[in-house]
Amino acid sequence: MTLNSCFALARIGIMERLNYRLSIFVTLFGNLVYLVLIYFLWSAIYASSGTDVVNGMTLNDTLIYLVLATALFNFLEVFLVWEMSRDIQSGGIVLKLLKPMSFRRYSFWSFFGENIVSFFLTFLPTFIIINVLTRGSIPMGLNLVFFMISVLLALNINFSVDMIVATICLHTESTWGINMVKECIVLLLSGASIPLAFFPEKLRAVVQLLPFRCIYDTPLSILLQKEGYTVESGVFSALLMQLFWFAALALLGSIFWKFSLKKITVNGG
């Protein structure tokens, strides 16, 4: 496998994503409705709390976090589980297994092109609009460099989680229920739905050790951090935690994949 092969797959992913432009607008509209609901929900929560700061976060902080979390979700999301299910049912998985590239690398670079499009069409515009509307409340400095590093690690971690869940398809041939459970767990424990600051202390201590936090909460915490980026600030320890889970999940997924290939059953063809 060469870099040219990887870039070619990414380019194909970009073209495929741009070919279905209507789906992008539908997604943006759905997110707009969701964000409106989020605004009124959290406004009501803060209004009933009797204070401007809840668990160390103001309403403005919470809304910025959740809006960016939604944009980050659209940017990082891959649909490997659904594609794996379709390939098993149609028999197309065989053709991908015969390619002179590992299935994991082929799938990652194929989806990477779609991630690039989502970054420029969803996350970046959202980031700019939020920063303008909040009059520059998002720090603009070294945090952006660490944020991009964190996002790349988060992308790989999220893909590894999807790869493990997709591999289960080789055993069950059914994905809908499993994928829905995965989505709920990731969105809840990653901080994408509710900021981790609102979790009970004991639960938050456990969640901070799990890989799900590394997907959304860690990049957003780094992006929104206003302190200096020193060892004491926690940025480097957060990146090391991401690096650990990236390596651990990639290794676990590779072992599980090799074991599961012996159990593969293909329909269609």
CA 166 to chain centre: 16
pLDDT tens-digit series, residues 199-223: 888 998 999 899 999 999 999 989 8
Which CA distances in Å does 27 have to 32, 129, 188, 226? Answer: 9, 17, 20, 31
Predicted structure pTM score: 0.87
DSSP 61-82: HHHHHHHHHHHHHHHH---HHH
- Is a pLDDT exceeding 80 seen at residue 100? no
For residues 201 and 262, which has the higher predicted lDDT (pLDDT)? 201
Contacts of 75 (CB under 8 A, 6+ apart): 115, 118, 119, 122, 123, 151
- In this prediction, what percent of the chain has a pLDDT beyond 70? 88
pLDDT tens-digit series, residues 118-129: 888 888 888 888
- Is a pLDDT exceeding 90 seen at residue 246? yes
- Is a pLDDT exceeding 70 seen at residue 15? yes
For residues 231 and 165, which has the higher predicted lDDT (pLDDT)? 165
pLDDT tens-digit series, residues 134-193: 877 888 888 888 999 999 999 999 999 999 988 887 777 667 778 888 888 988 888 888
Instruction: Please report which helix (H) or strand (E) contains residue 25, including its range.
Output: helix 21-49
Quote the pLDDT of residue 229: 54
Indicate the domain borders of the chain.
3-263
Contact 138, 223 (CB under 8 A): yes
- Is a pLDDT exceeding 60 seen at residue 228? no
Tokens read off for 258? 């090799």
**Looking at the chain, which runs of residues are DSSP E strands?**
53-54, 57-58
Mean pLDDT value across residues 224-240: 73
Quote the pLDDT of residue 269: 47
CA 43 to chain centre: 26
Which CA distances in Å does 198 have to 10, 151, 184, 217, 242? Answer: 38, 23, 17, 12, 22
What pLDDT band is residue 20 in, cutting at 50, 70 and 90? low
Quote the pLDDT of residue 264: 67
- Is a pLDDT exceeding 80 seen at residue 70? yes
